[in-house]
Structures are given as structure tokens and as C-alpha cells.
Structure 1
Amino acid sequence: MQQNKKLLRVLCSLLAAALAAWCTVLLCRWVGYDLQERLGNTPSYEIINDDYSQIIDIPAEGLTQAMPLKAGQPFYGVRFKFSTYGQLYKSGMTMVEAYNEAGDQILFAAGNFLNIWDDTFTEFTCNEAYIPDHDETLTIRLYNESAWDGPLGVWASEGEVSGMPLSVTDGDNLNATMAMQRVSDFTGSWPAALAARLQKPLAAAVFIAVLLAMLHAPLYLFVPAVGLALGVTFTYVTPALVAPDEYTHLAAAYELASTWSGQTAADENGNLLLRECDAAHFGTKTGDIGILAYKNEVIAETSEPGSPDALTTHSEVKAGQGSGSYLAQALGIHLARAQGQNFYTMLLCGRLANLILYLLLAALAVWLAPTSLRGLFACVALLPMPLQLAASLSPDAAVLGLVFSFTALCLRLRGEKAVWWQKILLIVLGGLTAPGKAIYLPVILLCLLIPAENLTYDGNPTVKFLGEELPGGCCIHAATLVLAFCFWLAANLNAVAYAARDMNTTVLVTAAAAAAVLLVLALAAYLKLHKRPKVFFWCKVAFAAVLVVGAVGGVYAVSHMGGGLDPDQLTMTYPNGDSIWTFSFGYICRNIPATVKLLLRTLPEQGALWLQGLLGTTLGEPIVYRIDVSWLLGVGLLLAVLAAALPRQDEPALLGRRSKAGTAGICLCVVLAVLAAALNWTPINYQTLFGLQGRYLLPILPLALLLVKSSKKLALRRDVSHAAALCTSTLTMLTLLQGFGLYAAWQPVS
């Protein structure tokens, strides 16, 4: 009986998953149909002759027009400006044929009374472009296949435009040139075809998500399986070089791949050396978007030639742009280059390698997390923003995976005794996480939430420090913190020095040394006096007083430290009006009121955008393109992650009062570090922060949700982890579909 119930459950799950996948296919088809109706069969054109001052009637023999075409220019057809002499015709058929110099027909199209209007350009197109490999002159013939019920003429110039004679077919030269335009690109049926590409990965994502959720499969299997299908779809949806800062990440990963191949990556001027087939694509800081950009990218993936992995071409792209982890991206690029693949295939391989690394780390984080937190980590990992970053070349994907894994391990070890491999993993993850991005160093303090007893080795339960017996686990704490700080300092020392560029370095180093000494003294005092309550109380009061005096004195000293800008320097700007000076630590301390005003103006103006960037409902690089999906999807994603964060009624609190305060303090430190980093690249004449994006706060989202889970103000009767993960996956799928439609329909604001 029990076995029959299990079989019935599996069958019902398969049926529900198949139904959900079928609905997804229908939804993709609707998106394709809608885009085809709005964007299909739309030309993009170039003016060939804009001189029209007479009307020439189309004779029975037809007209023959010469049109020059340069090598490499795509020819999808032509547009002529017709005249019906103010009449609305009911019948008639006009044919247009085009031939290349070899006599091959490259265009055959027709126009009737339904699409030819008075004094209006009408296009005659084909679905596939003709692209000559040398300059040539096309021969275009225009004639009436069936008679019109009135005269039909075309606009032309009075006098021949050089190299473009117009004549009666097999007859006299008319000493004129038709007003015409070359159709340089054509959407055709591509909107529907491109939407159809999304059907398989999205249907697979929904099928797997529904099946695994209904069967309550482990979430550490749910995340990589569903995330892979959704991430692959992101590689289709996000056009080339449109993901956040992808041009910089491409240069860094490409340089590393060149080093692995044993070649010199840059020339004597510090510019990257490239393969011949990649040269045309480098230096593009932001890729194109729109339906034609999608179309041309897909065509180039299969038709653009590759080249051997030989760096023969110089570029204007500087080497040494990357400072993050590009190991996965460089591996994908290296493998593609070794096989001689073209640029777009190489870019795709780099993206997929980055996606796989992120999903492995995300799955590790879900597996390491306590059982009650696995749904929370799964939902955060499957949000649109981390998947979009992972499906690009961004090193933030690896940083996210490492921070998630480190956070999950710290929370797990709060409630259980660590085995040997967990201690090693804690130190390794801390060491790898710290240098990833300077602003996430405070996250390493999470290891202090682990009771030292849980990290203690049974054979050596205590160690001596300053004459006091301490749990052996304190050595793990110390090793994690010291290793992380050393790696962080090695990776970010230059960035810190730049942020403090207008401050006295000697004073700063002295202050840092004094702070370190004070910390050691405070630790020694704690070890000696914490068992003597009265003395310890007054020691805490004295320590707090020293901190207050030190903080006030430090702010006063820094605010009066040299390096201020004189009036002439304050007015120095670039041609676009931006000040050449940005907020540094010294400038912030000397202008605290101005800094506070800037932050207060920023919050109401950009707060909603930060939330969108955190969830991923703003796609691409928002500084360049604002691709915002429906706010309903944002609300749904927010509710899904909050549902995963709500505790069950029978669930014990994960954090005590002090632990919650410490977790909140870590979150606050990261937020302040993010604000400081954003100020560091904001010109001083700006009224709001420049370049601050919500995705910078993604690594601490699980910690913020942990505070919600520990509050116990609102509790659930049963676990909803799988349901929340399924909702998040579904909403991410809808974000992908709408984002694709918005990318495809993008029109620049004039």
C-alpha cells in the first residue's frame, strides 16, 4: 500500500511537471507571437539617394536602376518612394528584382495596393542578406506585373546621381536616379524564431523545478539542476557585452587565458594582443541590444569564422584591468580558443564556465547550511540577479558563491561540533572570500559566532594565551581571521591607498598600529578580569570611554588633516561637467555635512532601484540600459524569499540576543563599506551617489533574512522551503521572458 502511494505520488509529480512545462512552451510561443506582431518584418535602412524632385511613371517595359554596394555591406532589399497622384488604388502589382554583377538574382519581391501609398517609401525585402566580398554595382529592375487602375510613378532626381543611372528597361537613359534606400537589416521572422530558442531551457527548468519540489528532493540538488537551465537561458537573453561591466571582465579573462596558453598577453605599450577573429569585438564598452542585435549575434555564432589561438593583432584595450577571480571564465575562453572557435562561441564558453562554478558553490552553500536555512539559501541563489551575474563573465558570481558557502558553514557550526574537514574548509573559505571584494571583509567576522568549543580538537581541548587557558577552537578563529585579513590586504591595499590618497599615510599607519595594540590590551584585560564582575565592569566603562575619545579625536584629526582642495581645484571638471575629483576618505571627513546631504538625497531617488538590483528585476547594466521588468515580479520575488525566511512554530531560535546584534553589526559594516566604495567613484559635484547598485548587497541578503528568521514575530505551521524555491524559480523564469521581450523591443530614447 505504501509503495503504491509512492508510485502514485511520482506519477502525479511527473504529470504536474509535464503540464507546467507545456504551459511554459505556450507562454514562450505567445511571447514570440507578440514580438513578431510588433517587431517582425521591420527594415533598417540606409539612404542611397535622397534627391527627389520629379515623378517618373513606370512604363510597360519597366525601369532599371543601378545601385552601388560596397564590400561587406549586407543587402536585404531596397525602398522606393512611390506616387499614386493622390489616389487610393484598388488593384495593381509591382515587382522588384535585383541582380549582382555575376547576373545572379538576389531579390525578387512584390508590392500591391495594400502596401503602396502615395508619397511613401515602400520596402521590397528578402529574408537572407546578400553580402558581397568586393565592391560592385547591383542592377535593380522595377516593373508592373499587373496593371494598376491608375498611373503609378516613382520619385526621382532631376539629373543622374553619379554612378546610379536610371533607364527604361532595354531602352533610353532617363538622366535621373530614383529616390531610394538600401535595406541594411531586416527583422523578418526572427522575433518568433529567437523566442523559440527559449522554449527548451525554460521548459526544462520548470519541469525539473516542479518535479523536484513535489518530490521534496534535497535542495542542494534542486539549486544546480534548476539553476543550470535558467542560467543557460540567461546566456541567450543577455546580449554579448551587455552584462554588468562585461567588457572589462572579458579583457581580464582573455588576458589570463593568453597567459595560460604560454603567449605574451600584451605588447610593449600595455595593450592586449588578440586573435585576428576577436579584434573587431574588443574595445566595445557596451554591446548592442534590440531584435536586430539578437539576430546578428545568433547568425554570427554559426557563420563568423574563428581563428587559431595565435595573438597576432594589437588592440587599444589595456591589460591588467581585472582584479577579481577569473579562473572559470578564463578556462572557458582558453578551451574555446584552443579549438579555434569564433568570438561569440568563446564568449559563451566563458559564460557557461562561470555559471557552472557559481552553481557548484551555491549547491555547496545549500548543502552546508543548517536544514532550517536551506530553503533560504536556495531562494537567494536562484534569484534573477545572481543567475544573471553567473551567466556573464562577472567575477561577482564566484564571490557570491564563496560568501554564501562561508556564511552557511558558520551557521551550521553554531549548532554542531566541527569535524576536521569542516575546520579546514572554514579557514579556506575565509581566505578565499576576503580578497574577492574589499567591501565584504566584515563577513569573515561570522566565524566568531561559532562557539570555540565546537571547533576544539578533542586531543587538545585548550591552549594557553597570555597565561590563560582558552578553548582550542580559538586557534581556528584566529587562523581564519588572520589568513583572511592578510589575503584581503594583499589584494586590496592599492584600493585602500587610493581611497585615502589625500590623507597623511604616516598618521594612518600609526593609528592602525595603535588600534591593534588597543585591541590586544582589551583582549588581555578581558581574559584576566572577566571573572571579576566589579573590576570588569569598570574596565568596560574605561574601554568605552577610550573608544569614544579615540573616535572623536580621530574624526577631528582626519577632518583637519592636510590635502584639502582650494577653490580653483573645486571648479575643475571634465568636458561632460563631472568634477575631476571624487569623494575620498579625507574629503568625506572634511565635508561630513555635504556627504550626509548627498546620502539623504540618494536614498529616496535610488532606493527602489537598489531593491530591483538586489532581486534582479533590473537586467543588464542599469547605468547604460534600464531594462526594468514588472514590479509585480519584484513583489513576488520579495515575498518568496521572505516566506523562506519565516521560522516554523516548533523551530528553536537560531540566534541569541548577542548573536543577532553581531549579525546586524556585520550587515551594517558591509552597507557602510558599500557606501564608502560608491562615494570613492562619485564626483564631488554630484548631488546623489553614482554607480551604487543593489547587487553589491546580495552577499549579505542571507544574513538579513536570518535576522527575520530569528525574530519569531511571525511563524509558519510547516516548512515551505520547497514551495518558496519553486516560486522563486518560476518568477525568475518570468523575469527572463519579460526581459527578453524588453531587450528585443528596445528603442533608444531620442
Structure 2
Amino acid sequence: MKQKLTIRRTVCSIVAALLAAAAVWLLCRWVGYDLQLRVGDTQTFAILNDDYSQVIDVTGEGLTQSMPVSAGQTVCGVRLDFSTQGTPRQSGMLMVDLYDSTGTLRGQAAGDYLNIFDNLFTAFAFDSTYTPAQDETMTLHIYSVAAWDGPLGLWASTGTVDGMPLLVGDTDAGATLALQMMTDNAAQWPTTLANQLAPVLAAAAFAAVLLFGLQTPLALTVAVVGLACGLAFVQVTPALVAPDEYFHLAAAYELASRIGGQTPADEDGNLLVRECDAPHFGTRSGEIGILAYKNQEMARRNEAGGPDELTVASEAKAGQGSSGYLAQALGVRLARSLGQNFYTMLRTGRIFNLISYLALAALAVALAPAGVRGLLACVALLPMPLELAASFSPDTPVLGTIFCYTALCLRLRSKKAVWWEKLLLVALGGLVGPAKAIYLPVVLLCFIIPVENLDGGRGAVKGPFGLRVQNGWYIQGAVLVLASCLWISANLSELAYAARDMNHTMLAVGGVALAVLLVLALWLYAVTRGDAKKRRAFRWGLAVVVVLAAAGSVYALTHMGGGLNPDQLLMVKPNGDSLYTFSLGYVFRNLPATAKLLLRSIPEQGAFWLQGMLGTTLGEPIVYRIDVSWLLGIGLVLALLAAALPAQGEQPPLGRRTAWGTVAILFGVAAALLVVVLNWTPINYQTLFGMQGRYWLPVLPLALLLCKRSRCVALRRDASRGAALAVTACTLLTLLQGFSLYASWQQVS
């Protein structure tokens, strides 16, 4: 009976997966069809002659118009301004033929008279495009293939434009047609690109439903489904449009050069690149729209690569590479070694970054205790982390590392640590410190692990001041010290900049005093711990010292450093932004103004932060606001809540005191993030500048874990697998709508 049920489940799962894949395939085809109708006629034109002061009739022999074309300029068609003199044409066909300088036919276009209107430009797209290798003068032959009654003319200039004579039959008309050259057009590319996306999305839907039905490990689901969705993001996100991707590409490119033993920069600090890559390196986000999609895909297919020789200085600056770009740099290194072109190199670097993220995310899900795996899987499969992973963003190794560290700390709450888990805990904690400055408080998660789970059965040993110290405390201390030291080494300059208008000597003295007080408190605890009355007095004394120290610190910080004078407060840049941004000194001297800034920011930007965390705002939001339907955002929030709510009888993964400690960690991350964002915000701004929802992603699992302690709402059974499937469905729909919005951007604007 059990074998029959297993076979039935397998068959049903395969059928359901096939139906899901078919549905997604059909949805992709619909998106392609809809896009073809909406943006299939997208065209760009170059004006050759904008003077129209007379009408030249189209005779039986037709008109011949010369048209100069520059080398490398693609000719897709032309646009002509017609005059029917108020009499609409009933039937017939007008032809436009394109000939090169040797008289060879290079393209033909036909226009129905029914689509020709009086005093309006009409476009004629050639059946094939032509790009001359050198400057040449081409000719257009405009003629009718059927006789008609009444006049049909074209607007032209009075007088001939240089190099553009117009012939009526064999006679020079002494004029030049009002003419625009079509330099690009969408043609069938909306359908083509949607058809390319369909197999990847269908594979993601098939894998998600099949693995859900077969109840496979969630780590496998994250790896397989995440790979399929991530590869779709690689295709959907246009080149250099992911958050700050042009900057991250330059950093990864530099690191790839260093890995290859090459000199990455010239004497002026400009990044050296291959000759074939130089035109694509800049300091702004890439283009979007259907024509951008088309041109990037054609360049990926047809553009020549080149040898891995750094011969051209780009606009980008060197000195930005770090280990956070290792995976992307390895992809760039491989593509350059194979002589691939720029867009193939970009795609390879994206894929390497995606694989590194999925490896860490799958490891995190595998390490997590059973009650938390579904929650981590849902967060890992959100659109935002997958979009970041499918770009050059260095946030993905940070995400994966913090996910693994969080999962390991939760794992060791309920089991004794073996040797490799202890080493992994120290290594991951050390990596969290320098990964990104704002996530240092996450390192404190090691203290949610019961110290006896880290002891290894050795018991307590003699420590400072004669105290008996358990071995687990040394491991937790090693994590904290390693992370702190690496954090300071990586972020000391940024910390000094944040405190640029404060007295650094007083800050150093305060830090030393704090360290002395901690040592003194430890010594007093060792002295008083054996006497209940002394221990009570020690606690009351410690509380008084903490309150006085806090009050004194606030007073000192609010009166430390020089403030800005009235003239400095009025200094602004040409764009109207203040010359000065919020610093720690300015914040402490202006606490009410800072509080008002935050209170204004929450209602005005809160929804945007949520969208950025979930991934329902795609691309670089400061440049392009690609917002998908708010229904998808609601679906993602509900799915996350379903994975976070406890099942009946489930033991919460966090105790009460641990939950409060987790809240403190979240507040610590929020405070660090606020300091960083304030350093970007000019002092004359009314809301925060540069706050992105994706900065909350690494601590999102911690925030959702607090829901596991809910006593008001509980589910009958664990819904995390279904929630992961729902997140995947919303991610697929986000990809489809995002592709449609990217492609139709030029039409919307």
C-alpha cells in the first residue's frame, strides 16, 4: 500500500508539474503577443531633412532620392511626409526600394494607401537592414505599383540639400524630400525575447511543483528553483540596470585583472579594459526598453570579443575591488580568457554570482533546524535576493553568509556542537563583521547558543580573576573578537568620516574608559559573587553607573565638536543639495531635527522600502522605477507570514529572553543603517536619501522568527513548503511583469 501511494504521489506530482510548466509557457507566449502589439512598432529616426515647403507629386516613373549614410550606421527604413491634398486614397500600394552606391538592392518596403494620411509622416520599414562599412550615398526609389486617380505627393524643401538631390524620373527637381532615416525598430523582437524566456520560466515552475509534490529537502528546492529563477533574472534584467551594476562591474573587472596578474589601472587611476569592452564602461545605469533588449541581444550574438589585453583606459576608476566580488571576478576572468565579447562576459559574471549565492543559501537551509528551514527558503527565493544574485551585486555573498550564520546559531540552540560546527561558527562570525558595516550586531547571535552546547563536555575552567569560565564562552568570545577586529580594519575610515566633526581624542578616551569599566565590573563581580548581600549591592551600583554613564555620554556627545555657522548652513551645490550631509556630530547636536527627518521618511518612503525588500521594485530605483503590481507584494507578504506563523504544538525556536535579545540586534542594525544613510543625506533634505529596502534582507529571517512566538494565531500544520511554492509563483509573475515593464518603458515614458 505504501509503495502504491508513493507511485501515485510521484505520478500526480509529475502531472501537476507539467500542467504548471504549460501554464507558465502559455503565459509567456501571451506576454510576447501583448508586447508585440504594444511595442512592436517602436522605432527610432534620424532627421536628414526637416524642411518641407512644397509638394512633389509621385509620377508614374517614381522619385529617386539620394541619402548619405555614415559608416556603421544601420538603415532599417525611412519616414516620408505625404500630401494627398485632402483626397484619401482608396486602394493601391506604394513601394520604397533602397539601393547602395553600386546599385545593389539592399531593402524593400511597401505601404498601403489606406495607411497614408494627408500631411503626416508615414514609416516604411525595410525587409532587411543594411549597415555600410564606409560612408556612402544610397538612393531611395519611391514608386507606385498601381494606377490611381488624383494626386499623391511628398513634402520637400525648396532647394536642394547638399548631397541629397531629388530626381523626378530623370529630371532634377531642385528639391530634397522631407526625410527621416529609421535607425532602429523593434520588429519581431518582443515575441522573440518572450519565447527565449519561456523555457527558463517553465522549467522553474516544473521544478517547484515537482519538488513540492515529492516533499524533497528544501535545500534542494532552493538550489534548483533558485537557479532557474535566477537564470531568468539574468535574461530579464538589462545590462548594467541592476542596482549600481556599472560600479560593481568595474570592481569585479579590476579584481579579475589582479587575479590574472595584470595591471588594472593606468597612472591616473583609470581602469584599464580590453579594447572590445571600452565602449560599454561608463558611470551610469544602462538603457532599458525593447530596443535596448534587442540591441544587447544582437551584440551578445554578433559582437566580436578580443584578446585579454588591457589596452584602453575607461571612464571607471580603479581601486574598488574586494573579496566581495570574487565570484563575479572569476566569471569575468573565464570569459576574458576565452575571448568572449562584453555582453557574454557580463552574463558569465552574473551566473557565477548567482551560483555562489545559491550555494550559500542552500547551505543555510540545510543547516537550519527543521522548523526554520521553510522560512529561510521563502526568504532566499524572494525576487530581490535573486535579482541581486543575478547581477554583479556584492550584497549576495553578504546575504548568504548571514543566512548561514543565522541558521547555524539556531541549529546549535538544540544540539551539542561538533568540532566542524565550532570552526564554522567562528569563521562565519568573522566573515559577518567585515561583510558590511551595518550588520555587525548580527554577530551577537552566537550568544543565543546555550554555552553548554559549545563546551564539548569539558566543563568550566579557571579564567580571569579566579572565575570559573566554561569553554563555550571562549568560542563566543573568539567570534566576537574576530568579527570586531575585522570590522574595525574594514570600516575604520568610514567610521572616522561619520565622526568627522567630533573630538576624536575624547571619543578614544571614552572608549578606553568603557573598557576599564567593563574590566572593573568583571573584577567586582568575581569579588562579590560569593556573598548575596554584596552581589545585590553590586547590581544596584552597576545599574546606577550605567544610568550615569548613559546620561553623561548623551551630554558629552550633544556638546562635542563645532557646529556649522549660518553661512555654512546656506552653502548648496548647483543642484540645490546642501554642501554638508548629516554626521554623528550634527545628529547629536540636532536630535529634534533628526527625529523629524525620520518621522517624515517613514510614511513617505515606507512602502518603497517594503517593495525594495521583497523585490517588487526592480532595477536601479533611483534611475528607473519598475514597480510590479502591488498584488504580488501582498502575495509575498502573506506567503512569508504563512511560513513564519507557528503550527499547533510547535515549540518556538526562540525563548522569551532570546526574543528580546533578537529585537535588540534588529534595533542595532537599524541604528547602524540609519547612521550610514544619514551620512548620504544633505542637511537641507526633509526625508532620508538612499535608504533601500534590500538592506533589510539579511535580518528579515530574524524579524520573521519573532512571529514563531505568536500565541494569538497558529496554523493547524506547518505551511512552509506551500509558502515556498507561493513565493516561487509570485517570483515568476514578478519576472514576467518586470520583463513587460522593462520592454515597454519607452512607450510609457
* Shorter-chain TM-score tier: over 0.9
Residues in 2 aligned to 1:127 and 1:743: alpha-carbon distance in whole angstroms: 26
Structure 1 partner of 2:57: 57
Structure 2 partner of 1:270: 269
Structure 2 partner of 1:241: 240
Aligned residue for 2:483, secondary structure, equals helix
Aligned amino acid, residue 8 of structure 1: R
Structure 2 partner of 1:157: 157
Aligned pair count? 749
Contact 2:108-2:127 at 8 Å conserved across structures? no
Residues in 2 aligned to 1:420 and 1:682: alpha-carbon distance in whole angstroms: 46
Residues in 2 aligned to 1:88 and 1:446: alpha-carbon distance in whole angstroms: 78
CA shift, 1:734, in A, is 0.3
CA shift, 1:655, in A, is 1.6
Q: Which runs of structure 2 are paired with 1:79-478 in the superposition (5 Å)?
A: 79-126=79-126, 128-169=128-169, 171-322=170-321, 325-459=324-458, 461-478=460-477
Q: Give CA deviations for 1:550-573 in whole Å, capped at 9, x if unaligned.
A: 222222222222232111111111
Structure 2 partner of 1:637: 636
- Please say if 1:688 is aligned against 2:687: yes
CA shift, 1:249, in A, is 0.5
Gaps of 5+ in 1: none
Aligned amino acid, residue 723 of structure 1: G
Structure 1 partner of 2:494: 495
Cα–Cα, structure 1 residues 612 and 430, in superposed 2: closer, same or farther, change >3 Å? same
Cα–Cα, structure 1 residues 128 and 253, in superposed 2: closer, same or farther, change >3 Å? farther
Percentage identity across paired residues of the two chains: 61
CA shift, 1:713, in A, is 2.5
Contact 2:236-2:739 at 8 Å conserved across structures? yes
Structure 1 partner of 2:73: 73
Residues in 2 aligned to 1:60 and 1:323: alpha-carbon distance in whole angstroms: 70
Q: Give CA deviations for 1:442-500 in whole Å, capped at 9, x if unaligned.
A: 00000011011000023465352321112111111011111111111111111111111
Cα–Cα, structure 1 residues 515 and 324, in superposed 2: closer, same or farther, change >3 Å? farther
Aligned residue for 1:434, secondary structure, equals helix
Residues in 2 aligned to 1:506 and 1:748: alpha-carbon distance in whole angstroms: 58
Cα–Cα, structure 1 residues 748 and 114, in superposed 2: closer, same or farther, change >3 Å? closer
CA shift, 1:147, in A, is 1.7
CA shift, 1:748, in A, is 7.9
CA shift, 1:71, in A, is 1.2
Residues in 1 aligned to 2:619 and 2:731: alpha-carbon distance in whole angstroms: 15
TM-score when normalising by structure 2: 0.98
CA shift, 1:367, in A, is 0.5
My pick for the range that moved more, 504-513 or 182-191, is: 504-513
Residues in 2 aligned to 1:298 and 1:5: alpha-carbon distance in whole angstroms: 47
Contact 2:92-2:148 at 8 Å conserved across structures? yes
CA shift, 1:102, in A, is 2.8
Cα–Cα, structure 1 residues 109 and 563, in superposed 2: closer, same or farther, change >3 Å? same
Cα–Cα, structure 1 residues 231 and 556, in superposed 2: closer, same or farther, change >3 Å? same
Structure 1 partner of 2:598: 599
My pick for the range that moved more, 139-148 or 318-327, is: 318-327
Aligned residue for 2:515, secondary structure, equals helix
Contact 1:81-1:155 at 8 Å conserved across structures? yes
Aligned amino acid, residue 423 of structure 1: K
Structure 1 partner of 2:655: 656
Residues in 2 aligned to 1:48 and 1:694: alpha-carbon distance in whole angstroms: 47
Aligned residue for 1:635, secondary structure, equals helix
Residues in 2 aligned to 1:126 and 1:523: alpha-carbon distance in whole angstroms: 84
Aligned amino acid, residue 301 of structure 2: T
Aligned amino acid, residue 488 of structure 2: L
Contact 2:247-2:283 at 8 Å conserved across structures? no
Contact 1:127-1:188 at 8 Å conserved across structures? no
- Please say if 1:551 is aligned against 2:550: yes
CA shift, 1:545, in A, is 2.4
CA shift, 1:275, in A, is 0.4
CA shift, 1:529, in A, is 4.0
Cα–Cα, structure 1 residues 617 and 463, in superposed 2: closer, same or farther, change >3 Å? farther
Aligned residue for 2:653, secondary structure, equals coil
Gaps of 5+ in 2: none
CA shift, 1:535, in A, is 3.5
CA shift, 1:501, in A, is 1.0
Aligned amino acid, residue 397 of structure 2: A
Aligned residue for 1:46, secondary structure, equals strand
Contact 2:31-2:740 at 8 Å conserved across structures? yes
Residues in 2 aligned to 1:350 and 1:580: alpha-carbon distance in whole angstroms: 37
Aligned amino acid, residue 91 of structure 2: S
Q: Give CA deviations for 1:120-158 in whole Å, capped at 9, x if unaligned.
A: 111111354311121111111000111233211000000
Aligned residue for 1:582, secondary structure, equals coil
Contact 1:500-1:586 at 8 Å conserved across structures? yes
Structure 2 partner of 1:678: 677
Residues in 1 aligned to 2:462 and 2:217: alpha-carbon distance in whole angstroms: 39
Residues in 1 aligned to 2:449 and 2:527: alpha-carbon distance in whole angstroms: 22
Contact 1:355-1:391 at 8 Å conserved across structures? yes
Contact 1:248-1:322 at 8 Å conserved across structures? no
Aligned amino acid, residue 226 of structure 1: V
Residues in 2 aligned to 1:222 and 1:24: alpha-carbon distance in whole angstroms: 18
Cα–Cα, structure 1 residues 212 and 523, in superposed 2: closer, same or farther, change >3 Å? farther
Residues in 2 aligned to 1:68 and 1:163: alpha-carbon distance in whole angstroms: 7
Aligned residue for 2:535, secondary structure, equals helix
Contact 1:43-1:183 at 8 Å conserved across structures? yes
Structure 2 partner of 1:583: 582
Contact 1:127-1:186 at 8 Å conserved across structures? no
Aligned residue for 1:107, secondary structure, equals strand
CA shift, 1:8, in A, is 1.1
Cα–Cα, structure 1 residues 537 and 31, in superposed 2: closer, same or farther, change >3 Å? farther
